[in-house]
Structure 1
Amino acid sequence: MPLMKKDPIVQGDALSPVEKLAARWDKAAYRAQGSPFEDLSVSALARNTGTKAWSRPGSVKGDTIARYIYLSFEELIEIEKLDMKSATQLLEICEATFLFEEECNELGSFDGIDKQAYHQRMRFVEEFGLYQDYPVALANLDFDLRELCAAEEVITFVDLMEFIDRLSDKAWIGGSYRNLQNVFAHGDEKGLTQYFPYRLGHRGFHLPEALSFI
């Protein structure tokens, strides 16, 4: 059963390097408890934030953030058997995740102002007769992007277009993120068929193509 949340440790002026790491961990872990990221895998968060690939001593099942954030920094080493390098890396992944979330929120604040981007998305939807509320859960997305969409509450096709648009200036994004950005930006019909049940030369999404993604 998960432990109760603990208030973060307040850093003093004469902390040792390990104590400083422990204080940073308490702050990050406290923030992660109950967050949308709690049940995501550490490996996926590392990839999504562009940090170094996650690696820990030993192979474990259920390697999610929730596995660690109810433990102290010392318990990461004593109970989870992480070495100092892995424990520090886990801390950096958590911190990078919340920095990424803050950047997304800041970018999101411009959505009401950026009418041009909104109208561009709507032109794409209208040109190809796309169902803007089509569930992202039924799209042909890779596991990492699907997890990120769930964490960021990206539910529909238009939500995804908006989210990808907000990530467009992030140099680290690649893979399906970058591919979808190009699809939406350039009206790439062929590219659209890779991720959504669109049929070349026909408007809208189609059931046979949707079933092929299952």
Structure 2
Amino acid sequence: MAKFNSTEWDEIRKKFRHSIMADTSLVSLAQNLDTKEWPHKAEDEKPSKYIEFGYDELLMLPEIAGNADKADHLIGILKETLAFDDPFGDMVTEVEKTAAKDNPILKTLARLSIPATYPLSLANFSEGTRVVCASEGVKTIGEFANLGQQMSTRVVLGGDFRNALNALTHGDEEGIGQFLPFRKGSTGLHLAEAIGLVSAGLSRPEQLGLARAYGAKLNPTDTAAAKALTKEQVEKIESGLRINFTATLDWFKDQRPALEKHLADGGTYERYFVVINDPAREAIAVKLTAAAVKVSAKPAAAASSPAEAKKGGLFGRLFGKG
């Protein structure tokens, strides 16, 4: 027996016509809910593909094929997604009203010296999580923290949204490092890890393919998994990455002098980014940074010529000079 009827479907699809999430991948929406994945992964698999059809027409679509369970699954995803709207409405006001002492997530941020103003755009989140946050103007990690506390009692969360909230709630430093440029065992956020996260949003085959295009040495398994990229594809991916890379350098401008000093003292880009602990993303970070941050190493101290050394030794002993 169908869980949802035509009346409920009409109500849900009407609301979705005005939702920013109407053109978000159904796969991404399902991942951010505690539900089974949406089985169809074509590029047009978005709510907007289905909401123009009445219930009877919906059942006739090839993806539903007259199966009420499949229709229920689709309607359930859309209904749960719409449930985000209720607690999101007063998000900005609530951020200001909620004291850190009442929010374990904000307490974690304070304890680890993670600025609540850190832009969500520079964090490593999926498309679904980004769209959900953008739909209500949630722009910082602090706003995200308050959002998560409110949502956890209203909607069953899934995907990286839930993973991030769990990591922040429990102070899981390794988990926090998956989506923020946090270094386990330290405090604050770090430029090296932040640049490493610039390419984290790419698929793994794209990361490996880009690293290989930059001349990185990959192991046999990674080489086999790497996506073959044309010169045009490399340039297109680079262009997209540079936007966040530039924003990252700007946010971490106070840490840039330390990077420049590292290079001026003879350090390498590779050594600076070894903390990323991912050869592919390290190679991408090196490429992006080397093109934007150029520092000449300090010249080595001039060595004394043999004649000067000899003069300094012999003449010094004989005449007190040298």
TM-score (ref. length: structure 1): 0.69
Q: Is the 8 A contact 2:101 2:107 kept in 1?
A: no
1:170-201 CA-to-partner distances (Å, cap 9, x unmatched) read 69445534443343234343332222112345
Question: What is the CA-CA distance between 1:107 and the residue it aligns to?
Answer: 9.6
Give 1:90's match in structure 2, choosing from 74, 78, 84.
Answer: 74
Does residue 1:69 correspond to 2:51, yes or no?
Answer: yes
Deviation string, structure 1 residues 88-108 (Cα, Å, up to 9, x no partner)? 432232223223433555999
In the alignment, structure 1 residue 32 sits paired with structure 2 residue 16: yes
Q: What is the one-letter code of the residue matched to 1:160?
A: F
The verdict on how the C-alpha distance between 1:157 and 1:169 changes in structure 2, with shifts beyond 3 A counting, is same
CA contact (8 A) 1:140 1:196 kept: yes
When Rg is computed on C-alpha atoms for both structures, the one with the higher figure is: 2
Q: Deviations over 1:12-55 (max 9, x none)?
A: xxxxx99x833322211111002122111222223333334323
Q: 1:132 to 1:184 in 2, by over 3 A?
A: same
Question: Is 2:33–2:159's contact at 8 Å kept on the other side of the alignment?
Answer: no
What letter is aligned with 1:134? Answer: Y
1:134 to 1:88, Cα distance in 2 relative to 1, 3 A = same
1:161 Cα deviation from its structure 2 partner = 1.3
Distance in 1 separating the partners of 2:101 and 2:53: 43
CA distance in 1, matches of 2:74, 2:103: 40
Query: 97, 115, 131: which is aligned to 2:115?
Result: 131
Tell me how far 1:156 sits from its aligned partner: 0.9
Taking only aligned residues, the RMSD between alpha carbons, in angstroms, comes to 3.6
Q: Which amino acid aligns with 2:58?
A: L
Specify whether residues 92 and 126 from structure 1 end up closer, same or farther in structure 2 by C-alpha distance, changes over 3 A only.
Answer: closer
Q: Which runs of 5+ in 1 are unaligned?
A: 1-16
Which residue of the partner structure matches residue 249 of structure 2? none
**Contact 2:103–2:149 (CA<8 Å) still a contact in 1?**
no
The question of 1:166 aligning with 2:150 is answered yes
Q: Structure 2 vs 1, CA of residues 164 and 42 (structure 1 numbering), >3 Å: closer, same or farther?
A: same
Distance 1:121 1:30, change over 3 A: same
Give the number of aligned pairs.
Answer: 195
CA–CA separation in structure 2 for the residues paired with 1:43 and 1:195: 20
Distance 1:179 1:114 in 2: 22
| 8 Å CA contact retained: 1:141, 1:195 | yes
**Higher share in helix:** 2
Deviations 1:46-68 (A, max 9, x none): 33333343236xx6432111111
Match of 1:48 in 2: 32
Q: Does the C-alpha gap of structure 1 residues 42 and 186 become closer, same or farther in structure 2, counting only changes over 3 Å? A: closer
- For residues 100-119 of structure 1, the aligned pairs below 5 Å read 100-102=84-86, 114-115=98-99, 117=101
What's the secondary structure of 2:21's corresponding residue? coil
C-alpha distance in 1, partners of 2:163/2:21? Answer: 24
Name the stretch that deviates more: 179-188 or 113-122. Answer: 113-122
Q: Percent same amino acid at aligned positions? A: 26
Separation of aligned partners in 1, 2:25 and 2:72: 17
- Please give the alpha-carbon distance, in whole angstroms, between the structure 2 residues aligned to 1:71 and 1:207: 48
Aligned to 2:225: none
Q: How far off its partner does 1:158 sit?
A: 0.6
Higher normalized contact order (CA 8 Å, seq sep 6+, divided by chain length): 1
User: Alpha-carbon deviation of 1:114?
Assistant: 4.8
CA pair 117-162 structure 1, distance change in 2 beyond 3 A: farther
